């Protein structure tokens, strides 16, 4: 860098950056970007090697499905690549409408609205619907995007203990029905892989005249008889006011949806800032998501394979003595607690040809650092057996089991 007449030595800002990074490093919490080459699949090319991938959210293997790729090509021929403006200006295109219509039909709601990402959906939905006179009941382990949405809304936040319905009821009882109140929860928790008790949440919401919003990011394509998510799994689809989810995980694509009443969607179109002040998704992205939705609806076999693999992997890990916490989904945490030990576990596995990421604070609470592994429909039994063998070997070496 050349000198533009600045004073010698580090400026305060540069010192701040360096200190922060050094502190993260010291605590074993510094993060680095690494690069995957080639397409996403059960095996990936990573730093010059072919390695078993146990850390993507690509549960059904659709991220590299040729049918999604073809949908992208077809759409580009028809609609071009970029949306060129926000949806409210001239960037609203047929692929957006088709996907919204399909999702509303699938979820049995009057309407659906697309957002560019799940993160943007949560901050845009929550901050437009709720304000400082309102109350939000939020599970302590909800995704960061929900927490950010609540902060942005200015609503009063009541955090309840993870999945603790007695605590939630106590908080509901201590607040006024005259306020606009909403319970918000992940339907599958992204770091623990457990499931929110939507049946009980819906019942409490009825008893205390409270709204319910769910985030089905990890559940869409995975849970329920036809892959619609946890609302289908619990048979409570008609009782959820705001059904949000994403196309970025099991659907293998990108973007997010919000399904609900016609008035809810029209409200969001008018008031949700992360919908209004951003360019529409490239229509081809919506076309790929639509193809994924069709596959999810039709191909029960794919979902059955995912669950076979999940049950096989989790049973093997438990038998070996690992603490998989309350996982009941293809997200399987291996509790290690110490962040440095989690990183060491992950890097030893990497040397053996297995890619599993270590998850540390602030993504998870202090003293709950873990490996977070995810299973895919198209992992083979041989690959899972190989993984189980190496987990066991390294788990012993490190004194984790």
Ligand X SMILES: *Cc1c(COP(=O)(O)O)cnc(C)c1O
Q: Is 145 an interacting residue with respect to ligand X (CB under 6 A)?
A: yes
Residue 314 three-state SS: helix
Least distance (Å) between residue 260 CB and ligand X: 17
* Token pair for 4: 């533009």
Pairing type for strands 156-160 and 181-186 reads: unpaired
- The nearer residue to ligand X, 109 or 246, going by C-beta atoms, is 246
Minimum CB–partner distance for residue 267 and ligand X (Å): 21
Residue 61 or 118 with smaller CB distance to ligand X:
118
3-state per-residue secondary structure call for 201-253: HHHHHHHCCCEEEEECCCCCCCCCCCCCCHHHHHCCHHHCCEEEEECCCCCCC
The closest of 285, 288, 250, 262 to 91, measured between CA atoms, is 285
- Residue 186 in contact with ligand X, rule: CB under 6 A: yes
Closest residue to ligand X using C-beta atoms: 118
Instruction: Report the site for ligand X in 235-254 (rule: CB under 6 A).
Output: 246, 248
138 binds ligand X (CB under 6 A): no
For position 223 contacting ligand X by CB under 6 A, the verdict is no
DSSP state of 279: B
Give the x-and-dash track for 87-126 against ligand X (CB under 6 A).
------------------------------xxx--x----
Count the residues of the shown chain that bind ligand X, applying the rule CB under 6 A. Answer: 14
The H or E element spanning position 74 is helix 66-79
Q: Is the dihedral of CA 213, 217, 221, 223 positive or negative?
A: negative
Active-site positions read 190, 218, 249
Tell me how far, at minimum, the Cβ of 397 lies from ligand X, in Å: 32
Residue of 65, 194, 215, 344 that binds ligand X (CB under 6 A): 215
Strands 36-37, 43-46: pairing kind: antiparallel
**Site stretch for ligand X (CB under 6 A), options 78-86, 133-141, 171-179, 212-220:** 212-220
Report the side by side order of strands in the sheet with 211-215.
Answer: 111-115, 256-260, 242-246, 211-215, 181-186, 135-139, 156-160
Residue 217 near ligand X by CB under 6 A: yes
Name the CA radius of gyration of the chain, rounded: 22
Residues that bind ligand X (CB under 6 A): 117-119, 122, 143, 145, 186, 190, 215, 217-218, 246, 248, 256
């Amino acid at each position: 860098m050349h000198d533009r007449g600045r004073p010698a030595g580090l400026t305060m800002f540069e010192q701040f950056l360096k200190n922060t990074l050094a502190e993260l490093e010291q605590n074993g919490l510094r993060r680095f970007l690494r690069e995957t080459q080639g397409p996403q699949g059960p095996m990936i090319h990573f730093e010059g090697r072919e390695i078993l991938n146990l850390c993507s959210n690509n549960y059904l293997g659709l991220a590299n499905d040729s049918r999604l790729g073809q949908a992208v090509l077809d759409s580009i021929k028809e609609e071009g690549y970029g949306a060129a403006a926000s949806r409210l200006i001239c960037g609203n295109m047929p692929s957006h409408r088709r996907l919204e219509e399909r999702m509303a039909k699938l979820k049995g709601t009057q309407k659906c609205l697309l957002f560019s990402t799940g993160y943007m959906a949560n901050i845009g939905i929550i901050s437009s619907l709720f304000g400082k006179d309102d109350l939000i009941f939020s599970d302590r382990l909800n995704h960061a995007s929900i927490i950010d949405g609540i902060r942005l809304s200015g609503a009063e936040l009541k955090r309840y203990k993870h999945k603790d319905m007695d605590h939630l009821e106590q908080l509901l009882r201590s607040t006024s029905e005259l306020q606009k109140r909403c319970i918000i929860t992940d339907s599958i928790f992204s770091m623990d892989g457990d499931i929110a008790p939507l049946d009980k949440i819906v019942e409490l919401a009825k008893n205390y005249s409270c709204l319910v919003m769910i985030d089905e990011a990890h559940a869409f394509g995975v849970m329920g008889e036809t892959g619609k998510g946890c609302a289908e799994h619990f048979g409570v689809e008609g009782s959820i006011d705001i059904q949000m989810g994403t196309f970025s995980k099991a659907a293998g694509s990108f973007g997010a949806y919000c399904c609900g009443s016609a008035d809810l969607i029209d409200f969001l179109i008018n008031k949700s800032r992360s919908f209004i002040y951003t360019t529409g998704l490239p229509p081809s992205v919506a076309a790929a998501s639509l193809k994924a939705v069709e596959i999810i609806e039709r191909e029960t076999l794919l979902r059955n394979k995912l669950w076979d693999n999940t049950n096989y992997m989790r049973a093997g890990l438990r038998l070996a003595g690992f603490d998989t916490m309350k996982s009941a989904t293809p997200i399987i945490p291996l509790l290690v607690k110490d962040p440095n030990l989690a990183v060491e576990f992950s890097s030893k596995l990497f040397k053996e040809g297995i890619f599993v990421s270590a998850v540390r604070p602030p993504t998870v609470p202090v003293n709950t650092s873990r490996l977070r592994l995810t299973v895919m429909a198209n992992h083979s039994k041989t690959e899972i057996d190989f993984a189980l063998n190496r987990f066991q070997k390294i788990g012993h070496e490190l004194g984790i089991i």
